[in-house]
Amino acid sequence: MIREEVSYLVIPKEVEDILISCKGIIIPESREHFLELAMGGKDNMEFEVKYEVSGKGEVVEAVITRAKNGIVVNYPDVYMRRRDPDSLVVGDEGDTDKPTFKERFGEDFDSLREKTFNWLKGQELIVMPFMSGGHELGYPSLLIAPSNAGFFAWALADIQGFIPRNQLREKFEPMAIVYVAPPFRHTHFSGKQIVVHYRSNGRHEVFSYNLYPGPSAKKGIYGVLINIGEMEGWVTAHASTVKIVTPYDNELVIMHEGASGGGKSEMIQQMHREKDNRILVGENIITGERYYIEIKESCEIFPITDDMALCHPRLQNGSGKMVIKDAEQGWFVRVDQIKRYGTDPQLEGITIHPPEPLIFLNIEGHPGATALIWEHTMDEPGKPCPNPRVILPRRFVPNIINEPVEVDVRSFGFRTPPCTKEKPTYGIVGLFHVLPPALAWLWRLVSPRGYDNPSITDGDLMSSEGVGSYWPFATGKMVKQANLLLQQILDYPRTQYILIPNQYIGAYRVGFMPEWIVREYLAKRGSARIKPDNLKPARCSLLGFALETLKVEGHYIPKALLQVDQQPEVGPEAYDKGAEMLKAFFKKELQKFLSLDLDPLGKRIIECCLADGTLEDYIKLIPPRR
């Protein structure tokens, strides 16, 4: 008979057997309880999360330090400090375009699944119910993890919320179950991060064989939501969302999508300023010239989502604009751009003096000291970890919006390298470009990961994050996702589309400044629609329209930052070489979508790209509707 403390669970017999046989069950009741679990006891200031591994002895997976403002998690294995983009495999025999467990490891997953269950039976376990996707629209889910991995359970609880035992009033039947079993990383996967998704009988199981929350507690649950959406016909967009309110009470909502490192977290941050309060738009890497503007009064920022936006059918209101809501209760915020005090005063203030303890990852931690988000753990002497994080519960974020919102603008972020005559690259994107819907769809199919990505372990060459930029976390068929994204674009004709680069514009180092300037510009002009006489077809048709002029609070942005071929350090010839790189990348990535299952309109759009279609060709494929 199942233990009394989990008698409310409606679970399969094999899961029931785990909970009957295990050494004990802990059901978290509060964030204070999680803190105690994470530290291995109330009074510990440091705690090693370690496991006995066959053939290796005792292996320390993580070191937890109690700071004044929370706990600091550090991984002795440098590889564990970033998400491996190849961590996801599918363990079942359902429809998928992802690598299966059998293809990658040469055997069925069933055997390892049973071994995992047997290992869990020998542990004291944390059992935590939660709702994937949020309390109102979410889906019942369950975490089963060893009790010494309390920090991992806490991380998931802060990201997705959790349900204390005393709040469960009726039977709870999870559609998703997350199992955590770290030793198998060493015994079966040569130390690699592996997360196995197993879909069976309407239930989605996630087997996390590592303790970095990125591919499992964070993106593993994202995969659950994508799978449910694929079955039900909706999308969880990979996007941050913000409402911008001007000093004159104009309002604009921007949903910013893109691959990891594409500026999603930055879109909801305050604009970074110099010590004298000026805005550094960009610095020319050849001449050293810096271009500044002054914005005396920035717009107010009202964050809505940080990474996962539910585009659930129950939210839509028939307005012609997409309506979204956050799929998370807490945000997994990367702080690699915070290199010194004063860079982002609001975020620094929240993390130094939080209302309740926070979880920091890959941050320097000292017992009893304050964890500071600009003191990043060193991967090696002189080389800071590029993926420091803090998990920020939404309720700690000032001006947070909890209600569904209509999206005025969908932007797409793209990490771009420097482009010069001496070294032409695809860094030819201006400060921002206006995209017709057909091109907006293509950008979401190819989702370039771009230059110098800080979040994952692969190199600097341009590669694709896959359809929707959420494909690394999906388990199903990419053409189904492509069709869902196309239908989404057709369903919401009043939502506008733009493209925003970050890091470099031609020869100018710009960081994430383009998206902050675009926020101000679009909101203060009072409309997301740009007048046709201020738009010019970009020299590369994949970039849609470039702007002729852009004026922010009396300051004209130089045309060289709007149309990169105008930069003397770049010029038309280097620009065209970069355009060819971009076109070749699109053509290579789009081939995989040409199947009988693709929507006929989508097929025509892809064929237009393969035939080097003009901007006018793309506009004709999905004509504008008012």
| pLDDT at residue 1 in the model | 56
Q: Which three-class secondary structure state does DSSP give residue 364?
A: coil
| pLDDT at residue 4 in the model | 78
- Asked if 583 and 570 count as a contact pair (C-beta separation under 8 A), the reply is no
User: What's the rounded Cα separation, in Å, for the pair 461 and 442?
Assistant: 20
Q: Which residues pair with 456 in a beta bridge?
A: 83
| pLDDT at residue 7 in the model | 86
Look at strands 409-416 and 405-406 and give their pairing.
unpaired
Q: Which CATH architecture has domain 236-322+407-621?
A: Alpha-Beta Complex (3.90)
Label residue 208 left, alpha or beta by phi (over 0 means left) and psi (-120 to 50 means alpha). beta
User: What's the rounded Cα separation, in Å, for the pair 313 and 260?
Assistant: 26
Cβ atoms < 10 Å from Cβ of 324: 27
Q: Which residues pair with 393 in a beta bridge?
A: 330
Q: Which residues pair with 258 in a beta bridge?
A: 413
Place of tokens 């550094």: 280
- Asked if 556 and 431 count as a contact pair (C-beta separation under 8 A), the reply is no
Q: Which CATH architecture has domain 4-41+84-232?
A: 3-Layer(aba) Sandwich (3.40)
Candidates 512, 525, 460; CA nearest to 256 is 512
Q: Which three-class secondary structure state does DSSP give residue 365?
A: coil
Predicted TM-score of the model (pTM)? 0.93
Which residues, including other chains, have CB under 8 Å from residue 580's CB and lie 6 or more apart?
Answer: none
Give the CA distances from residue 249 to residues 168, 319, 334, 386, 555, in Å, rounded to whole numbers and listed in that order.
42, 21, 30, 38, 21
Candidates 473, 455, 408; CA nearest to 254 is 408
User: What's the rounded Cα separation, in Å, for the pair 167 and 429?
Assistant: 51
Residue 412 C-beta-side C-alpha neighbours within 13 Å: 32
Q: Which three-class secondary structure state does DSSP give residue 154?
A: helix
Candidates 573, 571, 561; CA nearest to 289 is 561
| pLDDT at residue 458 in the model | 47
Q: Using alpha carbons only, what angle is made at residue 459 by residues 458 and 462, rounded to the nearest 5 degrees? A: 105
- The full set of domain ranges for the chain reads 4-41+84-232, 236-322+407-621
Cβ atoms < 10 Å from Cβ of 351: 25
Give the CA distances from residue 134 to residues 160, 217, 312, 330, 335, in Å, rounded to whole numbers and listed in that order.
7, 14, 12, 10, 25
Structure token pair of residue 147: 């009790």
Q: Which three-class secondary structure state does DSSP give residue 138?
A: coil
Q: Using alpha carbons only, what angle is made at residue 388 by residues 382 and 392, rounded to the nearest 5 degrees? A: 155
Candidates 549, 386, 368; CA nearest to 460 is 386
Residue by residue, DSSP assigns 463-508 as: -B--GGGTGGG--S-HHHHHHHHHHHHHH-TTSEEEEEEEEEETTE
User: What's the rounded Cα separation, in Å, for the pair 63 and 76?
Assistant: 8
Candidates 83, 97, 82; CA nearest to 467 is 97
Rounded to the nearest angstrom, the gap between the alpha carbon of residue 350 and the centroid of all alpha carbons in its chain is: 21
User: What's the rounded Cα separation, in Å, for the pair 286 and 124?
Assistant: 60
Candidates 113, 181, 170; CA nearest to 148 is 181
User: Among the residues of 353-446, which ranges form H helices?
Assistant: 437-446
User: What's the rounded Cα separation, in Å, for the pair 85 and 281?
Assistant: 32
- Asked if 311 and 444 count as a contact pair (C-beta separation under 8 A), the reply is no
Between 478-491 and 219-232, two packed helices, what is the crossing angle to 10 degrees?
A: 70
Look at strands 409-416 and 251-258 and give their pairing.
parallel
Give the CA distances from residue 372 to residues 331, 363, 376, 562, in Å, rounded to whole numbers and listed in that order.
17, 7, 8, 37
User: What's the rounded Cα separation, in Å, for the pair 22 and 118?
Assistant: 9
Candidates 301, 370, 333; CA nearest to 515 is 301
- Asked if 441 and 486 count as a contact pair (C-beta separation under 8 A), the reply is yes
User: What's the rounded Cα separation, in Å, for the pair 150 and 173?
Assistant: 23
Long-range contacts of 189-195 (CB under 8 A, 24+ apart): 191/77, 191/79, 192/84, 192/87, 193/79, 193/80, 193/83, 193/84, 193/87, 194/87, 194/89, 195/87, 195/88, 195/89, 195/219, 195/220
* pLDDT per position as a tens digit, 81-135: 998 989 999 999 999 999 999 999 999 999 999 999 999 999 999 999 999 999 8
User: What's the rounded Cα separation, in Å, for the pair 133 and 324?
Assistant: 12
| pLDDT at residue 413 in the model | 96
Which residues, including other chains, have CB under 8 Å from residue 197's CB and lie 6 or more apart?
Answer: 88, 89, 90, 91, 92, 204, 205, 206, 207, 220, 223, 227, 475
User: What's the rounded Cα separation, in Å, for the pair 258 and 429?
Assistant: 15
Low-confidence ranges of the chain (pLDDT < 50): 457-460
Candidates 259, 219, 212; CA nearest to 239 is 259
